[in-house]
Amino acid sequence: MDMQADLMAHLNTRVVVPNGRRIEEIPTALEPSEPRAPISVAPCPAVAEAPTALPPEKKAQLYRHGLLTCLLNPKIVVTYGALLPQFVDPASGHVLRQTAALGLVQIGAAASAHSLVILSATAMASVLSKRKAYLKVQRYLLGSILTALAVRLAMERRSVV
């Protein structure tokens, strides 16, 4: 008990800056004025239990997360700001409307292409994940490819410029 009180008194009377130097000793109101009961530590029940699968998220929530992530990506703004103005003709009318129309056409085309890839990959994954032989071949084939790339990078001579 004395060691705990000494530690608390030590921690409550020193102010330390990031570089580790002690500035000054300041007595605080947190110093124990009377003996306290010892602190007991119990194991966390979440750690003792086996990990469980996460609950599935709703498709609408996943879509909102993806859309928000895409809209807040500054690279999109820079890309559209650099790419679209070259296709806008100021003599043809309202520049903002032309830019918005071009952006919406590009977003529609990209969404269609990405949706096609997602649907195709989902269908293929559901069929192939049921085949144990494919999973085993995929695991060892990809492991071998990554190992070969690592060996190639390790053996590559580097030129000093």
For 17-51, the pLDDT digits (tens) are 444 444 444 445 555 555 555 555 555 555 556 66
Question: Which residues constitute the domain of residue 146?
Answer: 104-154
What is the distance between the alpha carbons of residues 157 and 160, in angstroms, rounded to a whole number? 10
Residue 21 lies in a domain: yes
pLDDT at 5 over 60: no
Residue % of the chain over a pLDDT of 90? 28
pLDDT at 68 over 70: yes
* pTM for this entry: 0.44
Residue 72 lies in a domain: no
Given CA atoms 29, 31, 37, 43 in this order, what sign does their dihedral have?
positive
Question: Number of structural domains, the chain?
Answer: 2
Residue 120 lies in a domain: yes
Which parts of the chain are beta strand (E)?
A: 14-16, 22-25
40 vs 88, which has greater pLDDT?
A: 88
Residue 46 lies in a domain: no
pLDDT at 98 over 90: yes
At residue 10 the predicted structure's pLDDT band, cuts being 50, 70 and 90, is low
Residue 145 lies in a domain: yes
